[in-house]
Chain A
Amino acid sequence: MSEVIVVTSGKGGVGKTTTTANVGTGLAMLNKKVVMIDTDIGLRNLDVVLGLENRIVYNLVDVIEGKCRLKQALIKHKKYPELCLLPSAQTRDKDAVTPEQMIQLIEELKQEFDYILLDCPAGIEQGFKNAIAGADRALVVTTPEVSAIRDADRIVGLLEANEMKKIDLIINRIRMDMVKRGDMLKVEDVCDILSINLIGVVPDDEQIVVSTNQGEPLVGTDCMAGEAYYNICKRVMGEEVPFMDLDAKKGVLNAFFKMFKK
């Protein structure tokens, strides 16, 4: 029984692609067969974040136009052979694909994979419609900023109108020090406005930038964001995982304590 999940946000730059890469990799680490589809035709970058850019020969549009077989376009990940990427075309635009074609493609992929992750482009136009067409579940990514929340709210409304079965929220790039000072919206405030199920909170982490530039998702590594993404993956699979304490102070002393705990 495979699940099709779309990662969307409305606003750009909140971390859809990073989330897709990390959740996809995390699910693969948990021994699931995962395929990620980059639906951002014309502005592809999921391949870059995954470090698979140099392996692209065929892409999503080629598959849909019948220029190659689906198998030929799928790129296997370096570390996890169960993890595949279907990259988008860089030279075309969103209108090269229709929602019906996407549904057909996803049906084909369902035969083989446990999870199909769709990286949605920003905005609510054709690209968004394509991405959500075949999905039965959505992860809405937002940052604790009013502009991102406003867009996320719009997206949730559109997803509900399209009868999305399950909609979960990921709050990305939260900074607990700023929340404490009262300069940033709290997790509860965001949940209050959007009133959908919270599936994860990812702290703002320098390591994310490093990992993105290196093309290696940091899920599962020993940093806050890595742990947070790993927890999200487990929750996506239906496990009950308590939310981690984002407030834990980093430092030599803390690392020392941590050693003892282990």
Chain B
Amino acid sequence: MTREVIIKSNKYGINLILDDHLPFEELLTLIGEKFKETGSFFKDAKMAISFEGRQLTNKEQLDIADRIMENSSIQIVSIIDSNKDLEELMRERVEAYEQPQPEPMVSYMNPQDMGMQGMDIPPTADFYKGNLRSGQTLECASSVTLIGDVNPGARIVSEGNIVVLGSLKGNAYAGASGDDSCFIFALDMKPIQLQIGDLIAKSPDKEKGSFRTRKKGKTEGSQYSPQIAVVRDGFICIEPMTKGCLDRL
């Protein structure tokens, strides 16, 4: 096994980790050989490519892409020069290329409604209106605000923060790329599960007879109490949303 070229791939693209010291020509030959060996594995895939471990000029990047296409049946549709939120970027590029059937990020929802079609660079925050129902998933590469409810069985995933202006009764996953400084906010916080970064928390198990008391409690004070979930000392904590809470974020 040569360590000079390492190929990592996901569904939408390839990430090449290249040795920094090898002369470029030598590297190019190595890449050619490597893809000749493994190229059949990728079949006629349309993929994006990115590089790591070595600064490359634009021409060098193009040379590498050409070499890969010569030695395998992979179609490189885009070159991504940085390695930030890679899969997301790769996926968007590939999907932008395959316009006829853009896979909406929200299953079962009209992509136009969700404003996700043909978006090239993920914006810093997204807004969505409507309820997420059981079986539906909303995935975002950025922070997300949902105006509506997340019902039990639905899931909202974001690489940034999540704000639910409504009831959160399903699952929420903030900081999906592993960032545990993210928060989840909801006007009515009754989640089944919360995930922030690599941490996961489940709702407390129902005590016997709690159904009755809970219902009674709800009739008395049916107004929402906004709450926020953050990570403190390696645990996900749900706190009431107060001004002091805002300052600590």
Q: Do A and B come from one complex?
A: yes
In the assembled complex, the Cα of A156 lies from the Cα of B153 at a distance in Å of 13
Q: Does B215 contact A (CB under 8 A)?
A: yes
Q: Does A254 contact B (CB under 8 A)?
A: no
Contact B211 A183 (CB under 8 A): yes
Q: Does B109 contact A (CB under 8 A)?
A: yes
B interface: dominant SS: loop
Q: Does B108 contact A (CB under 8 A)?
A: yes
Residues of A within 8 Å of B, CB-based: how many? Answer: 18
Contact B151 A161 (CB under 8 A): no
Contact A157 B136 (CB under 8 A): yes
Q: A185 — which chain B residues lie within 8 A by C-beta?
A: 215
Q: Does B102 contact A (CB under 8 A)?
A: no
Mask for A187-221, Cβ within 8 A of B = 1, else 0?
A: 00100010100000000000000000000000000
Instruction: With both chains docked as a complex, state the minimum distance between the C-beta of A44 and any C-beta of chain B, in angstroms.
Output: 28
Interface residues of A in 94-117 (CB under 8 A from B): none
In the assembled complex, the Cα of A153 lies from the Cα of B136 at a distance in Å of 10
What is the chain B residue whose CB lies nearest that of A157?
Answer: B133
Contact A150 B153 (CB under 8 A): yes
Q: A181 — which chain B residues lie within 8 A by C-beta?
A: 212
Q: A193 — which chain B residues lie within 8 A by C-beta?
A: 149, 151-152, 169
Contact B152 A150 (CB under 8 A): yes
* Known contacts A182-B212, A182-B216; A153 and B108 CB within 8 A of each other: no
Contact B212 A156 (CB under 8 A): no
Mask for B198-219, Cβ within 8 A of A = 1, else 0?
A: 0000000000000110011000
Q: A157 — which chain B residues lie within 8 A by C-beta?
A: 108, 133-136
Contact B215 A154 (CB under 8 A): no
Interface residues of A in 145-167 (CB under 8 A from B): 146, 150-151, 153-154, 156-158, 160-161
In the assembled complex, the Cα of A183 lies from the Cα of B212 at a distance in Å of 6
What is the chain B residue whose CB lies nearest that of A154?
Answer: B134
Q: A161 — which chain B residues lie within 8 A by C-beta?
A: 108-110
What is the chain A residue whose CB lies nearest that of B136?
Answer: A157
Q: B153 — which chain A residues lie within 8 A by C-beta?
A: 150, 153-154
Selected A-B contacts with CB under 8 Å, 17 pairs: A146-B152, A150-B134, A150-B153, A153-B134, A153-B153, A154-B133, A157-B134, A158-B108, A161-B108, A181-B212, A182-B212, A182-B215, A182-B216, A183-B211, A183-B212, A193-B169, A195-B131
Q: Knowing that A146-B152, A151-B134, A158-B135 touch, tell me 7 more A-B residue pairs with CB under 8 angstroms.
A: A150-B152, A153-B153, A154-B135, A154-B153, A157-B135, A157-B136, A193-B151
